[in-house]
Amino acid sequence: MSPNIFEKKGTSSVFRNRFTLLPEYTPEELPCRDKEIDQLVENLSILLEPSHTYAVNIAITGPPGIGKTTLTKKTLGDLKNAAITNGINLDTFYVNCHSFRTKTSIIRRIATDKFHIQGRGFSDEELLEMLAKRLEKENQRLVLALDEASMLSGKDILAFIHMNELFSSGIGRLSTIIICRRSEWSLLLSADLSGRIQDQLSLEGYTSDELKEILTYRKNLAFYDEVISEDVFDLIIEICSRTRNARHGVEILLKSGLKANAVGQGKISAELVRAAKTEVYPELRTDIFQDLKKNELVAALSIGRLLLKPGKVSTTVNESYDTFKLISEENKLKVQSIATFRICLDSLERLGIISHSVSSLPAGARGRRSKITLYDIPAQILVERVEQVL
């Protein structure tokens, strides 16, 4: 009998715990974010005082991969535990707006998950009112974290904040933490919204010393001792210091570890790190493609396939729609209208996967020209990742 394929593997892995390098893992410690943690505690701890009646609204902004999401999740977890210890009826709710893209779907998700209210058939306003009633009845406070908030409009975010006006007791029961990349925050911000934000945490990219501390911690969680030599580790730090992005380092650790296992090397060499580096796109959340709808995946694939052609830098709506139709037929999917296709393009743009610009044609010619390009990810990688999900 041939040996079990799972038993054959495994013993020679470089990983002590590979799971700790996956995007869904939230580390227990967050080195180099002490100041930000203190600032959040300062803002939120008033919610643990029984007599406190105001809601708190905070924004967390900054470049990609610098711990905004991780900091938020850790804070929510600790806040909830502290509330239990202090006998305060407080709950937390984390939403990634890449997955729940509209105000309506977020409100429905809170209604079903928290209160088992089926949201269908109710308007947003009616549902918010029902939620407010339940919070009031149960004398509860809720801290809602809206991650990737730029998927919503400033008006949508205000609708959540304004829910506090529905409480007859006058207690602001719904607090918010609004998280987004800094460039997108300025687009979201209106005078109305900024007037409601009590504090904004502007996180900066990590310095190379900070990355060293962070990635030493992550390396020791994930790998057996002596898998990565000091020289090789320095190389990883040097690479991600250029982007100041911790995700960059974490992904290189994971990819080069997998490569070391694949070749049965037992150690991570500089060569493997250099190979891993070319496969990592630190601005792109790795799980972003999991959140795409089928039509959006096909739209992304059609653009990726077109831009794979040598020398091709951009495409147009009409051209990519033709490919979209072909791929839909190939995959036996219903061929959507060009209007639906344009909606898919808008979503892909808002998610930062493609860039879609429209410019007027030169004088004399009629109409406008649309130009679709990819942001910072090569067409080959886009095609591979989308095909994986499809």
What residues make contact with ligand ATP under the rule CB under 6 A? 27, 30-33, 64-70, 181, 214, 218, 246-247, 250, 285
Identify which of 175, 194, 277, 215 has the alpha carbon closest to the alpha carbon of residue 67.
215
Least distance CB 185 / Mg ion (angstroms): 13
**Binding at 103: pick from Mg ion, ligand ATP, none (beta carbon under 5-8 Å per type):** none
Residues forming a β-bridge with 15: 223
Query: Within 13 Å of residue 120, how many CA atoms lie on the same side as its CB?
Result: 0
Candidates 67-75, 121-129, 290-298, 371-379; binding stretch for Mg ion (CB under 5 A): 67-75
Candidates 60-68, 232-240, 271-279, 290-298; binding stretch for Mg ion (CB under 5 A): 60-68
Q: Which amino acid is at 158?
A: L
C-alpha 147/C-alpha 131 separation (Å) is 20
User: Which is nearer to ligand ATP, 24 or 330 (by Cβ)?
Assistant: 24
Q: Is 175 in the site for Mg ion (CB under 5 A)?
A: no
Least distance CB 250 / ligand ATP (angstroms): 4
User: Which is nearer to ligand ATP, 210 or 296 (by Cβ)?
Assistant: 210
Least distance CB 5 / Mg ion (angstroms): 36
Least distance CB 147 / Mg ion (angstroms): 6
Identify which of 281, 252, 254, 222 has the alpha carbon closest to the alpha carbon of residue 64.
281
Torsional sign, CA 117, 119, 121, 123: positive
**Binding at 214: pick from ligand ATP, Mg ion, none (beta carbon under 5-8 Å per type):** ligand ATP
Cβ neighbours of residue 232 closer than 8 Å, sequence gap 6 or more: 268, 269, 270, 273
Residues forming a β-bridge with 174: 142
C-alpha 25/C-alpha 27 separation (Å) is 6
**Binding at 33: pick from Mg ion, ligand ATP, none (beta carbon under 5-8 Å per type):** ligand ATP
**Binding at 31: pick from ligand ATP, Mg ion, none (beta carbon under 5-8 Å per type):** ligand ATP
Identify which of 306, 296, 293 has the alpha carbon closest to the alpha carbon of residue 353.
296
User: Which is nearer to ligand ATP, 119 or 352 (by Cβ)?
Assistant: 352
**Binding at 257: pick from ligand ATP, Mg ion, none (beta carbon under 5-8 Å per type):** none
Identify which of 353, 242, 285 has the alpha carbon closest to the alpha carbon of residue 96.
285
**Binding at 248: pick from ligand ATP, Mg ion, none (beta carbon under 5-8 Å per type):** none
| Cβ neighbour number for residue 102 with a 10 Å cutoff | 14
User: Which is nearer to Mg ion, 69 or 320 (by Cβ)?
Assistant: 69
Instruction: Tell me whether strands 354-360 and 368-374 are parallel, antiparallel or unpaired.
Output: antiparallel
- With CB under 5 A as the rule, give the number of residues binding Mg ion: 2
Least distance CB 70 / ligand ATP (angstroms): 3
C-alpha 149/C-alpha 174 separation (Å) is 17
User: Which is nearer to Mg ion, 254 or 327 (by Cβ)?
Assistant: 254
Least distance CB 31 / Mg ion (angstroms): 18
Could you tell me if 335 and 314 are in contact, meaning their C-beta atoms sit under 8 angstroms apart? Answer: no
Least distance CB 306 / ligand ATP (angstroms): 27
317-330 and 338-350 helices, crossing angle to 10°: 100
Q: Is 69 in the site for Mg ion (CB under 5 A)?
A: yes
Residues forming a β-bridge with 358: 370
Least distance CB 223 / ligand ATP (angstroms): 15
User: Which is nearer to Mg ion, 31 or 322 (by Cβ)?
Assistant: 31
User: Which is nearer to ligand ATP, 238 or 329 (by Cβ)?
Assistant: 238
Least distance CB 118 / Mg ion (angstroms): 30
Counted residue by residue, the chain has a size of: 390
Supply φ then ψ for residue 344, to 5 degrees.
-60, -45
Question: Contact positions toward Mg ion, by CB under 5 A?
Answer: 68-69
